[in-house]
Structure 1
Amino acid sequence: MMKKYQFAAAGLAVAIGFAAQPAMAGDPKSCASVHVAELGWTDIAFTTGVAQVLTESLGYKLKSDLLGLDVVYQALKMGKLDVFMGNWRPIQNEQFKQYFDEGSLDVLGPNLLGAKYTVAVPTYVADAGVKSFADLAKFGDRFDYKIYGIEPGSNQPLIDAVQKNEFGLGKWKVVESSEQGMLTQVDKAYRKQKWIAFMGWEPHAMNVDYNITYLSDGDDIFGANFGSSDVYTLSRKGYAQQCPNIAKLFQNLQFKVEFENHGIQAMLKQGKSATAAATEMMRKNPDLVKTWLNGVTTLDGQDGLAAVRKKIGS
C-alpha cells in the first residue's frame, strides 16, 4: 500500500508541476491578419517595417495602407484599421480631440518618448540670425516667404499661424507636398548653402544628414520645448481584448530616438527597404528586441522570442 500511495503522490506532484507552468496563449486565427496604416512619413515607414518583421516572424500577416491622417482616424473609428503607430502628441490629440473624447478608438501606449516637431532651418541660417519664429519675418525675402511642409493635414497648426499673421508671417506661404518632396528642397538648398525653412522633426535621418536648428518661441503653435512630442500607438476599439497577444506586442514596441534616426538613414541614404533597415537595426539591438517580445508568443502559442531570433538571424 505504501508504494501505491507513493506513486499516487508522485503523479500528483507531476500534475501540479505541469499546471504551475504558464500556458502559452497565442491568438485566435481571426487575428492572423494585422491591418495598419502609414502616412508617407519615413519614421512611421521604418517603425512599421519593424512591426512587419516581428509580426510575420510570429506567424501573423501585416497589411499596411498609405492614408491621409484624417482618413486614418476615421478608419480606426469604423474598425477598418487595427493599429496606427503615428499618434504624435500633443498636436494630434488637439487636432483629433473628438475621437479621444468620444472613445471611438483605444490607446495601446507610447512607442517613442522625447520626439520633437516644429519649424527648422539649416544651422548656417541660424548662425546668420534666424533662431526663433520671430526672426523669420525679418528675413522674409531671403526665404522667398516660404516654409516647406509635408503632406496636407500635417501642417495645419503652421497654416493657422500664417492665416492669423502670428509672428508677422501673414505674407508667407506654407508649401505642402510630401516628406520626400520637402527633403528634396532641403537637400538642394543645403548643398548650395541657400536659406530655407521647413518642417523638421526627430526622429528622422535629417538630424544625422544635416546640421539643423529648431526654431524657438513656437510653443503656441507646436507646443513647448520645440514641439516636444511623444508618439503613441492607437488601435480600433476593443482590439486588445479580441487579439491580446499581438496587441501586447504593439504595447511593448517602444523605440529610442537614435535607433529610429539610424534606421531611417539606412532607408533614405542606403536605399534599404523598411524591413531590411528594421532587420539590421534589430540585429544590432538584441536587448531591445528581447523587451519587445516579453510576454508575447507566436500566433499558435510558441516561444515568440525564439521565432524572431530565427527570422532575423541573431
Structure 2
Amino acid sequence: MKKIKQTLLRQTVLVASLTTATISVANECQTVQLAEPGWTDLAFTSGVAQVLLKGLGYEASVDILGMSVMLEAMKNKDIDVMMGYWDPAMDTYIKSYIDEGSIEKVAVNLEGAKYTYAVPQYVYDAGVTDINDLHKHAGKFKKKLYGLEPGSNNIILDAIAAGKYNLEGWKVVESSEQGMLAQLKRAERRSEWIAFQAWEPHPMNVKFDIAYLTGTDDTYGPDFGGATVHTTARKGYLQACPNVGRLLQNMTFTLDMENVGMGYILDDGMTPEEAARTVIRANPEVLNDWLKGVKTLQGGDGAAAVSGYLDS
C-alpha cells in the first residue's frame, strides 16, 4: 500500500510539473511582439500575422522602429518577430545578426520582389536608364536622391561615400515612405526630375508610371535588387514557441496579394489589421495553408478559431 501511495504521489507531482511547465510556456508565448521599419509591405504582412495570432488567442502588437533599433531589440529579445528581411537588399543591416545567430531566418514568405532606385518614365525616356546617368543631369535632379526613414538608406549612402556612380556631393533626402511618395507625386504633377527608392510589391508600381534603373548590381544586387523576403525571429523563439513558429513557417504571400493589401492601407486609409482582414476575407483559401497544423493558444482547432474571429 505504501508503495502504491508513493507511486501515486510521484505521478501527481509529475502531472503537476508538466501542467506547470505547459502553463509557463503558454504564458511565455502568449504575447507576440512584432516590429517593422515603417514600410507598408511589412505593415501589411505584420497586420496579417496580428489578425491570425489574435484569432488563435494570442496577444500581438507591432512596433514601428528604425532598422538598427529594431535589429538590436530582436537581439536583446525585446522583439520576437520581423516579417521582412529583404535578401540581399538588407544584408548591410542584418547579415551580422544572422551570422552570429541572434536573429534566425524562419521561412521565405515572398519571392520575386525587387528593390533599387527608379525614376518617372518620362525621365527614363529622356535617357536616364542607369544609375550612372544621374550625375550627367545633376542640375535637373538638384543633386538629390529621395530615400526612406533614417537608418534605411545605408546602401546608397555607403555607395556615395565610396565614390560610386559619380554622386559625390549629392544629398539623400531621408523622410519616410509616405513622404517620399508625396514628393514623387508632386514631381510627376510638375513633370520635374526625381530619383527615388522604389520596390515591389508596392502600389507605386501601378499608381505611378515609373522605371527602375540598371547599374546597381554591385550594391542592391542583380535583377533590380531582386530579392526574396524572409520572416525572421529572435534566437530560440521557434523552439520556445513552436505553435507560433509553425504559423510563421506556413505564412507566404504573393506580389498581387501584397500590392492589393498595401493599396488598402495607402489609398483607402485602412489600418494594417483592417487591410489584412479584407484581403483574407477575399481569399479565404489561404487559411488552409497558413493554419495547417496550427492550434490555438490553448490547443484547440486553429482554423475554426480564426474563422470565427474573422466573422466577429
Whether these two folds match at TM > 0.5 is: yes
The CA distance in 2 between the partners of 1:211 and 1:312, in whole Å, is 36
| Letter in structure 2 aligned against 1:176 | E
- % identical equivalent positions: 48
* Alignment correspondent of 2:266: 268
Match for residue 128 of structure 2 among 123, 130, 134:
130
Helix, strand or coil: the match of 2:285?
A: helix
Question: Residues 86 and 168 (structure 1 numbering): CA distance in 2 closer, same or farther, change over 3 Å?
Answer: same
| Letter in structure 1 aligned against 2:144 | K
The CA distance in 2 between the partners of 1:249 and 1:197, in whole Å, is 39
The CA distance in 2 between the partners of 1:215 and 1:56, in whole Å, is 41
The CA distance in 2 between the partners of 1:102 and 1:205, in whole Å, is 35
Helix, strand or coil: the match of 1:30?
A: helix
* Alignment correspondent of 2:43: 45
* Alignment correspondent of 1:12: none
Deviation at 1:98, TM superposition (A): 2.1
Deviation at 1:69, TM superposition (A): 0.8
Contact 1:93 1:100 in 2 (8 A): no
* Alignment correspondent of 2:3: none
Helix, strand or coil: the match of 1:96?
A: helix
| Letter in structure 1 aligned against 2:134 | L
Helix, strand or coil: the match of 1:286?
A: coil
The CA distance in 2 between the partners of 1:167 and 1:126, in whole Å, is 17
Tell me, yes or no, if structure 1 residue 251 matches structure 2 residue 249.
yes
Contact 1:148 1:199 in 2 (8 A): yes
Tell me, yes or no, if structure 1 residue 140 matches structure 2 residue 123.
no
The CA distance in 2 between the partners of 1:208 and 1:263, in whole Å, is 13
| Letter in structure 2 aligned against 1:308 | V
| Letter in structure 1 aligned against 2:205 | N
Contact 2:92 2:155 in 1 (8 A): no
Helix, strand or coil: the match of 2:90?
A: helix
Tell me, yes or no, if structure 1 residue 241 matches structure 2 residue 239.
yes
1:25-48 CA-to-partner distances (Å, cap 9, x unmatched) read 997232110011121111111111
* Alignment correspondent of 1:7: none
The CA distance in 1 between the partners of 2:28 and 2:97, in whole Å, is 26
Contact 1:111 1:231 in 2 (8 A): yes
What is the 5 A alignment of 1:1-314? Answer: 28-313=26-311
| Letter in structure 2 aligned against 1:79 | K
The CA distance in 1 between the partners of 2:108 and 2:224, in whole Å, is 19
Contact 1:38 1:84 in 2 (8 A): yes
Deviation at 1:112, TM superposition (A): 1.1
1:98-124 CA-to-partner distances (Å, cap 9, x unmatched) read 212211222111111111110011111
| Letter in structure 2 aligned against 1:311 | Y
The gaps in structure 1 that reach 5 residues or longer are 1-24
The CA distance in 1 between the partners of 2:73 and 2:266, in whole Å, is 29
Contact 1:150 1:177 in 2 (8 A): yes
1:60-83 CA-to-partner distances (Å, cap 9, x unmatched) read 010211111111111111111111
| Letter in structure 1 aligned against 2:36 | E
Deviation at 1:311, TM superposition (A): 2.1
Task: List 4+ stretches of structure 1 deviating above 4 A.
Answer: none
Helix, strand or coil: the match of 1:153?
A: coil
Alignment coverage as a number of residue pairs:
290
The CA distance in 1 between the partners of 2:127 and 2:169, in whole Å, is 20
The CA distance in 2 between the partners of 1:85 and 1:171, in whole Å, is 35
Contact 1:48 1:85 in 2 (8 A): yes
Helix, strand or coil: the match of 2:150?
A: coil
Please report the TM-score for the alignment, with normalisation by the length of structure 2: 0.89
Deviation at 1:219, TM superposition (A): 0.3
